[in-house]
């Protein structure tokens, strides 16, 4: 299997509203031998005001961004080309499933490219942060985990890499982070092969579903929310989302819960410690064979026969699983449609006809793309396609259409109200707050950001 290790640097944290500025990738074979490296950078999108905090973290100067060789659209097309060159691939980032994946999906969505490129058509994904979590739980001693002044384990890559002797010369620079991620994967696979193999199986939703079906008792970990590892058994599946599987914590005596009334089932999703966990099978859950349990796993000291008996009692109860499954399905209020097209990415798939038109969009000259996108029936994709032409090649638009998009851009950047993206006003406030706290280290960068914002103000005003 081919691997693509990657990292992104962005203008901020709001997927759909911020943008990727840098995409660094290292392509390897199944033995982690490097086949190719790619380091892509792009310029600011015309309607995006970058977060000063994000630029400080990544040490990115606006003047350097504006010198980048690619537009945002050109960079996203290059990313897609890299995945298609090597498919099927396993993409691996660090905290990528929680962050970078979302940024990539929104970038694909807003440029009329396949949204689920990283986990469809044979492509799968892993997260090296989850590999580090799994190694710390099930292969103690393989990794040195740094701690803070309160003794809490810290898994930030800029701390974990040097603690384990991994090269990480420039934290928060995408290529440096990518090299560190690759070295971390080599370390875990080499020193904790069973942990790596178990996680590798979870690289696809189907692999996780098969594991949960085959294993009566297993270890389950979700350190993202500070929960302990547990001995668990599959209980039910969310009837509205087949990717979500409910498991029961076998360190709990099920007799305390099995006969709960349906109206009280939802309370078990909130009580602490929770007897119920929700496993998201499409997001590389940390599921391990029962024989890897140790003292860090709640219920590890119970005899296996007792664990199996508890699992059977939970599974065979006539109502408990069904009540919990429905409570999981009902745990969120129905989401109302957003006024912003950026928030409607998951509101259905484009039709085959529209998907074909989206591919045609990329193949024809810019002068012909308005006609192509006007034939797309999906309102979201039509709006995004028309916007994309304006952002990339406004010169091909007629005067009236361009003026309409100019007004949209001005409203977007200059609004004073509460919106889910950074504006000139919000960035001005953020710069002032950062200056008040800065000891001079970031003065030059803040000057550049302020200059960028004031230039936008003059242009838009």
pLDDT tens-digit readout, 173-205: 899 999 999 999 999 999 999 999 999 999 999
The last residue of a domain, from among 203, 233, 262: 203
- Whole-prediction pTM: 0.95
Residue 119, pLDDT score? 95
Residue 345, pLDDT score? 97
15 DSSP β-pair partners: 18
Residue 225, pLDDT score? 66
Residue 168 falls inside a structural domain: yes
Residue 346 falls inside a structural domain: no
177/283 same-domain check: no
28/17 same-domain check: yes
- What's the total number of domains in the chain? 3
The range of the structural domain enclosing residue 234 comes to 204-335
Residue 255, pLDDT score? 87
Evaluate whether 454 touches 64 at the Cβ level (below 8 Å): no
Residue 176 falls inside a structural domain: yes
Which among 429, 377, 398, 215 is positioned nearest to 308, based on CA atoms? 215
Per-10-residue mean pLDDT, the chain, length 461:
97 96 98 98 96 92 94 98 97 97 98 96 97 96 93 93 86 89 98 98 97 98 82 97 97 91 92 90 97 96 96 95 96 87 96 98 98 98 98 97 96 93 94 91 90 82 65
Q: How far apart are CA 362 and CA 426, in angstroms?
A: 35
CB atoms within 10 A of CB 121: 11
Residue 375 falls inside a structural domain: yes
87/114 same-domain check: yes
For residue 175, give every residue at least 6 positions away whose Cβ sits within 8 Å of its Cβ, in sequence order, or none: 7, 24, 37, 39
- Give the β-pairing of 89-93 and 124-127: parallel
CATH number at residue 193: 3.30.420.10
Residue 395 falls inside a structural domain: yes
Residue 455, pLDDT score? 86
Evaluate whether 178 touches 25 at the Cβ level (below 8 Å): yes
The last residue of a domain, from among 335, 370, 402: 335
Residue 461, pLDDT score? 65
Residue 102 falls inside a structural domain: yes
- Give the β-pairing of 89-93 and 2-10: parallel
Q: How far apart are CA 460 and CA 392, in angstroms?
A: 18
196/211 same-domain check: no
12/136 same-domain check: yes
Q: How far apart are CA 439 and CA 74, in angstroms?
A: 38
Q: What is the DSSP letter of 182?
A: H
Helix/strand/coil for 288: strand
CATH number at residue 240: 3.30.1520.20
218/316 same-domain check: yes
């Amino acid at each position: 299997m081919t691997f693509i290790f990657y990292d992104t640097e962005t203008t901020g944290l709001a997927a759909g509203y911020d943008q990727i500025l840098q995409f660094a990738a290292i392509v390897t074979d199944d033995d982690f031998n490097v086949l190719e490296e790619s380091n892509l950078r792009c310029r600011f999108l015309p309607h995006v005001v970058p977060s000063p905090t994000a630029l400080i973290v990544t040490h990115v100067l606006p003047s350097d961004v504006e010198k980048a060789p690619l537009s945002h659209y050109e960079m996203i097309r290059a990313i897609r080309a890299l995945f298609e060159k090597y498919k099927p691939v396993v993409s691996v980032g660090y905290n990528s499933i929680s962050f970078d994946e979302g940024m990539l999906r929104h970038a694909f969505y807003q440029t009329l490219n396949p949204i689920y490129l990283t986990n469809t058509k044979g492509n799968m994904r892993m997260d090296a942060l989850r590999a580090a979590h799994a190694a710390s739980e099930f292969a103690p001693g393989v990794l040195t985990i740094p701690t803070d002044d309160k003794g809490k384990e810290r898994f930030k890559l800029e701390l974990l890499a040097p603690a384990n002797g991994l090269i990480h010369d420039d934290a928060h620079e995408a290529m440096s982070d990518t090299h560190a991620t690759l070295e971390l994967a080599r370390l875990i696979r080499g020193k904790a092969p069973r942990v790596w193999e178990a996680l590798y199986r979870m690289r696809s939703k189907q692999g996780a579903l098969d594991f949960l079906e085959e294993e009566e008792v297993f270890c389950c970990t979700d350190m993202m929310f500070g929960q302990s590892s547990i001995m668990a058994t599959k209980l039910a599946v969310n009837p509205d989302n087949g990717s979500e599987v409910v498991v029961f914590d076998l360190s709990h005596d099920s007799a305390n819960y099995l006969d709960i009334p349906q109206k009280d089932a939802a309370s078990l999703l909130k009580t602490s410690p929770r007897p119920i966990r929700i496993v998201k099978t499409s997001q590389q859950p940390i599921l391990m064979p029962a024989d890897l349990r140790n003292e860090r796993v709640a219920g590890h000291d119970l005899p296996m026969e007792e664990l199996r008996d508890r699992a059977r009692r939970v599974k065979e109860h006539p109502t408990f699983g069904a009540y919990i499954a429905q409570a999981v399905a009902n745990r969120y209020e129905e989401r109302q449609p957003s006024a912003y097209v950026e928030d409607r990415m998951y509101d259905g798939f484009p039709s085959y006809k529209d998907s074909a038109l989206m591919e045609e969009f990329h193949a024809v000259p810019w002068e012909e793309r308005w006609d192509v996108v006007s034939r797309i029936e999906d309102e979201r994709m039509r709006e995004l396609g028309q916007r994309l032409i304006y952002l990339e090649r406004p010169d091909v638009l007629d005067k009236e259409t361009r003026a309409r998009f100019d007004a949209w851009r001005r409203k977007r950047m200059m609004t004073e109200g509460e919106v889910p993206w950074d504006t000139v006003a919000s960035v001005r406030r953020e710069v002032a707050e950062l200056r008040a706290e800065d000891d001079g280290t970031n003065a030059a960068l803040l000057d550049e950001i302020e200059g960028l914002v004031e230039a936008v103000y003059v242009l838009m005003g």
